[in-house]
Amino acid sequence: MNPPSQEIEELPRKRCCRRGTQIVLLGLLTAALWAGLLTLLLLWHWDTTQHLKQLEERAAQNVSQVSKNLERQHGDQMAQKSQSTQIWQDLEELRAEQQRLKSQDSELSWNLNGLQADLSSFKSQELNERNTASDLLERLREEVTKLRMELQVSNGFVCNTCPEKWINFQRKCYYFGKGTKQWLHARYACEDMEGQLVSIHSPEEQDFLTKHASHTISWIGLRNLNLKGEFIWVDGSPVDYSNWAPGEPASQSHGKDCVMMRGSSHWNNAFCDRKLGSWVCDRLATCAPPANEGSAESLGPESRPGPDGRLSAPSAPLHS
């Protein structure tokens, strides 16, 4: 057995050994921890490096793709710019062409308007000349008829034959029409019956018309055609008689170019589109040989009825 003192000495020595072992173990543990930490750091660094490389590669790829996209976009922009420039040039050309066509169209329209105006003027002139010629021919026919009538009267003919519903007065026949008409329509109605709106040339004729017109307002054949206040008869006969009402025709009554006969026998100018209830037509009466001369054969071939039913005048005056 060891003595107690020796045991006492060995006790601190054991404690020192244990403490040294603990320190060594602690150092080893610390070293292991640092080694593990360093390993972790190395692994993290390697992983981070790899990740950074991948990111760099992806970034490089993205940059390359973006560059390609930018180049493509730049190329597209250049193409669009070139196309836009071409479109602008085409638009300018179209505008210039449109302006040229517009100018040409304006010129053509002006020429067409000029041609239409010339054509209208020509038609109007032709119509006026035709109407003038027709009126002149009608007047000549009427004058020839009047001369023929005078010749027949001088040879004993009786000129008082009128169509049905016409009234004879002084070698003329008169028709007193009824019905609402404007002046122009009344004129046409007379022409349809181979007559014309009445022309009045004496107080006796006026009294006759006043008596048979039954005191109604009637259209007569007097009209202002030249718009200068000069009224003329539609048959071209001279205005050698008038029966205007006091103050008529009104000098400032613009548009009142037609004439009506009142029931009092006085005349008034009125608007031609006014509708009156009556109008008066006249035409020359037809002539017949005296009753004691028998049929038309006794008059010779020159005085026999012509194709129109009228008697022709002899070629030379008959001696009594």
Whether 277 shows a pLDDT value over 60: the answer reads: yes
Q: Write the pLDDT tens digit of every residue in 90-135.
A: 989 999 988 888 888 888 888 888 888 888 777 767 766 765 676 6
Whether 33 shows a pLDDT value over 60: the answer reads: yes
What does the alpha-carbon distance between residue 243 and residue 14 come to, in Å, rounded to a whole number?
175
8 A C-beta contact, residue 313 and residue 152: yes
Q: Using CA of residue 233, residue 239, residue 240, residue 243, what is the dihedral sign?
A: positive
Q: Write the pLDDT tens digit of every residue in 219-238.
A: 999 998 766 678 999 988 88
8 A C-beta contact, residue 282 and residue 172: yes
Query: Does a cis peptide bond (omega within 30 degrees of 0) precede residue 249?
Result: yes
Task: Tally the C-alpha atoms within 13 A of residue 305's C-alpha that lie toward its C-beta.
Answer: 10
Q: Write the pLDDT tens digit of every residue in 55-67.
A: 888 888 888 888 8
- Greater confidence (114 vs 275) lies with 275
Burial (CB count within 10 angstroms: exposed 0-12, middle 13-18, buried 19+), residue 293? middle
Name the residue ranges covered by the structural domains of the chain. Answer: 67-157, 159-288
- The model carries a pTM of 0.52
User: Quick one: which of 194, 189, 246 has its CA closest to 218?
Assistant: 189
Whether 74 shows a pLDDT value over 70: the answer reads: yes
8 A C-beta contact, residue 225 and residue 232: yes
User: Which position has the token pair 């085409």?
Assistant: 90
Q: In this predicted structure, what is the pLDDT of residue 297?
A: 39
159-288 has which CATH code?
Answer: 3.10.100.10
**Range of lowest pLDDT (120-124, 218-222, 289-293, 300-304):** 300-304
What does the alpha-carbon distance between residue 217 and residue 201 come to, in Å, rounded to a whole number?
19
Whether 296 shows a pLDDT value over 70: the answer reads: no
- Greater confidence (202 vs 153) lies with 202
What does the alpha-carbon distance between residue 304 and residue 314 come to, in Å, rounded to a whole number?
9
What does the alpha-carbon distance between residue 231 and residue 250 come to, in Å, rounded to a whole number?
12
Q: In this predicted structure, what is the pLDDT of residue 284?
A: 93
The backbone torsions φ and ψ at residue 20, rounded to the nearest 5 degrees and listed phi first, read: -65, -40
What does the alpha-carbon distance between residue 116 and residue 124 come to, in Å, rounded to a whole number?
12
User: Quick one: which of 151, 160, 112, 126 has its CA closest to 284?
Assistant: 160
- Per the document, the length of the chain is 320
The continuous run of DSSP H or E covering 315 comes out as: none
User: How far from the centroid of its chain's Cα atoms is residue 274's Cα?
Assistant: 29
Q: What is the DSSP string of 26-82?
A: HHHHHHHHHHHHHHHHHHHHHHHHHHHHHHHHHHHHHHHHHHHHHHHHHHHHHHHHH
User: Quick one: which of 246, 240, 276 has its CA closest to 258?
Assistant: 276
